[in-house]
Structure 1
Amino acid sequence: MDGIYFSCADVTSLSPHGFWLQCGEEELYLPFVEFPVFEHATIAQICRVRCVSTGRVYWPELDVDLTLEAIRNPMAYPRDSMNYDC
């Protein structure tokens, strides 16, 4: 994915069940049960996250591109509509 990246996203905490992502003023939790693509990723892969716009984040090593809305409301977005393979 080419383009301009904004440094607005940081992983602040990891647990065996998921991780916390700070996006600007907002901190979001991504549980592995809702986002299984991250479950077997390394800590380094999870921590290398980029903002590609004010509403999207991208993990280049995992080729995962998610909107913040999909992270906030994962039940509203079927897994097959998200840009990753489970």
Structure 2
Amino acid sequence: MMSSKALGKSTSAVEITHISKNGVWLLAYDKELFMAYKDFPWFKDAPVGKILNVKELHRGHFYWPDLDVDLTVEIIEHPERFPLKAKYT
């Protein structure tokens, strides 16, 4: 039986799994998080490549460098608690 060490290091614990007309789905640690465009307008008209380029700064804190957007799991799960601080243009 092969140990998990022999399989190598995981390259990503976070990825975009779906982009639709309504929003974006982010998979992180076997949990899928939905980001509706009404709550996360930065993604609505962004090119797919910029949406897919997501980094995890530390567990549960995600950053899209091409869009200069950073979000946490809490913000994604409860956008009503975090009204937009800047206007999207």
Q: Indicate whether the TM-score tops 0.5.
A: yes
TM-score with structure 1 setting the length: 0.84
Contact 1:37–1:85, Cα closer than 8 Å, also in 2: no
| Partner in structure 2 of residue 46 of structure 1 | 51
Mapped partners of 2:87, 2:72: distance in 1: 16
Mapped partners of 1:19, 1:55: distance in 2: 17
How many angstroms does 1:85 deviate by?
5.0
Q: Which runs of 5+ in 1 are unaligned?
A: 1-5
Aligned mate of 1:16, from 21, 27, 39: 21
Write the letter of the residue equivalent to 1:29. Answer: F
Identity over aligned residues, as a percent? 36
Q: Which runs of 5+ in 2 are unaligned?
A: 1-10
The structure with the larger Rg is: 2
1:32-86 deviation per Cα after TM superposition (whole angstroms, max 9, x unaligned): 1110011110111101101111120000100101111000000011111xxx652
